[in-house]
Amino acid sequence: MACDQIELAVSGVQQLSPYQAGKPIEELERELGITNSIKLASNENPLGPSAKALAAAREALSEVTLYPDASGHRLKSVLSAKYGLSNDQLTLGNGSNDLLELIARVFVRPGDQVIFSEYAFIVYPLVTQACCAQAVITPAINYGHDLDAMAAAINEKTRLIYLANPNNPTGTVFTKSELLAFMAKVPESVIVVLDEAYTEYLTAENMPDGLELVPKFSNLIVTRTFSKAWGLAGLRLGFAYASTQLTDLLNRVRQPFNVNIAALAAAEAVLDDAEYLAKSRQVNSDGLIQLAAGLSKLGIEFIPSQGNFITIDLKQPSMPVYEALLREGVIVRPVGIYKLPNHLRVSVGLESENDRFLTALEKVLG
């Protein structure tokens, strides 16, 4: 009898489905034979890359035959100077997704429990299952984290807690006061991961800055990314900040040379491009206002967002609308995988792209 190779994998992996990324423009245009499509599906920066970052990456490619600095010393030094951090408390990753998975591999054993919120980032349940651990999903409040419920769910099997602020795909947030009250309830033996992938877009008051809180909580790991406001999604780079002990453990397992030379150089350069970050924030803020006004005019409900996206409630199954938008050359993101079958997530684009989405949506809804 032929070997069933699925059975060779660990049980958690056997039950996984691969992560489904946003549909690429090239794939859509190839399938439908159309051109001039726009993609508002993957929360990418619509500005294109920083000129400083692009120049630095191009220059770095002249050394592409060499391995990158495995420690990322220069980038860590720039990060430390910018945010007031310590080099020996930083871990670099191939995007923050790499770090979210790395943290689980280091701290979660089969049978342990991992807590995260309903409607939280899909990577949290994926890495939990891959570790053969038990997911404890706490009900959301207004699509956001119920930190009291998450604290109440902690028991002797709890190993790790994932928080996201702002949260993807809902754009919801919790305040600094709420986070501090939550952390006071968490035993030091439980690792808390604060995923701040969208933190640069925050405009609400009393928002936490996880980097400032790490010295106060030895069990806190903060992750950030260069993929969103910094505009480097295609180069894949993120970082984690934690106590020296936790950082040492992460770096024992982190793959050597996990960040390429172009990414290291581009990130170092973009951190010095204050004008680019300011423009990214302004375009996003203006775009959220534009989309909210357009959706309200169409009578479509949406979740108020602090990210670079907005999630809309169609009050009907979203897949037919998603597919109709594809035929109009507009790619957005269905979020049925988050148990939101009537919702679509729309990334903030340039003004013209937001207009095109709103026009297409009005058309397909008839």
Position 27 confidence tier, pLDDT thresholds 50, 70, 90: confident
What are the pLDDT digits (tens) for 312-323?
A: 999 999 999 999
209 in a domain, yes or no?
Answer: yes
- Contacts for 58 with CB less than 8 Å, ≥ 6 apart: none
pLDDT at residue 140 tops 80:
yes
pLDDT, residue 6, reads 60
Same domain, 39 and 140: no
pLDDT digits (tens, 9 = 90+) for 190-237: 999 999 999 999 999 999 999 999 999 999 999 999 999 999 999 999
Residue after which a domain boundary falls, among 249, 270, 291: 270
- Residue 8 maps to a domain: no
pLDDT band at 80 (very low <50, low <70, confident <90, very high): very high
Do 266 and 346 fall into the same domain? no
CA distance 120 to 124: 7
Question: Given pLDDT bands bounded at 50, 70 and 90, which one contains residue 124?
Answer: very high
Task: Judge if 237 and 292 occupy the same domain.
Answer: no
Say whether both 304 and 289 belong to one domain. Answer: yes
- Asked if residue 96 and residue 217 are part of one domain, the reply reads yes
pLDDT of residue 12 exceeding 90, the answer is: no
pTM of the model: 0.93
**7 in a structural domain:** no
Q: State the average pLDDT over residues 87-108.
A: 96
Q: State the DSSP string of 199-216.
A: GGG--SSS---HHHHGGG
| Residue 204, in any domain of the structure | yes
Q: One-letter amino acid identity for 132?
A: C
pLDDT over threshold 90, residue 29: no
Predicted pLDDT of residue 25: 81
Q: Which residues contact 111 (CB under 8 A, 6 or more apart)?
A: 132, 133, 134, 157
| Cα–Cα distance for residue pair 330/356, rounded to 1 Å | 8
Q: What is the mean pLDDT of residues 128-147?
A: 96
Whether 298 is covered by a domain: the verdict is yes
Which residues constitute the domain of residue 40?
19-48+275-365
Note the pLDDT of residue 93. Answer: 97
- Is the pLDDT reported for residue 9 higher than 90? no
Asked if residue 5 belongs to a domain, the reply is no
Residue that is last in its domain, among 270, 300, 321: 270
193: amino acid identity, one letter: V
21: which DSSP letter?
Answer: P
Residue 8 has pLDDT above 90, yes or no: no
Q: What is the mean pLDDT of the chain?
A: 94
**Separation CA 160–CA 153 (nearest Å):** 12
Q: Is residue 191 part of a domain?
A: yes
CATH number (domain holding residue 283)? 3.90.1150.10
Q: What is the predicted pLDDT for the residue at 11?
A: 65
263 and 349 housed in the same domain: no
Domain identity same for 73 and 199: yes
Burial class (CB in 10 A: 0-12, 13-18, 19+), 249: middle
Q: Is residue 11 part of a domain?
A: no
pLDDT tens profile 256-272: 999 999 999 999 999 99
If asked whether residues 28 and 61 sit together in one domain, one would say no
pLDDT band at 22 (very low <50, low <70, confident <90, very high): low
Q: What is the CATH number of the domain that holds 148?
A: 3.40.640.10
pLDDT digits (tens, 9 = 90+) for 240-297: 999 999 999 999 999 999 999 999 999 999 999 999 999 999 999 999 999 999 999 9
Q: Which of 220, 237, 270 corresponds to the end of one domain?
A: 270
pLDDT for res 35 = 87
156 with 246, same domain? yes
Same domain, yes or no: 40 and 57:
no
Q: Give residue 16's pLDDT.
A: 55
Question: What's the domain count of the chain?
Answer: 2
Residues 330 and 190 in one domain: no
pLDDT at 28: 79
The pLDDT value recorded for residue 18 is 63
Instruction: Return the pLDDT at 366.
Output: 86
**Taken in order 53, 58, 63, 64, is the CA torsion positive or negative?**
positive
Q: What is the pLDDT of residue 19?
A: 58
Using one digit for the tens of pLDDT, what is the confidence trace for 155-199? Answer: 999 999 999 999 999 999 999 999 999 999 999 999 999 999 999
* Judgement on whether residues 109 and 243 belong to the same structural domain of the protein: yes
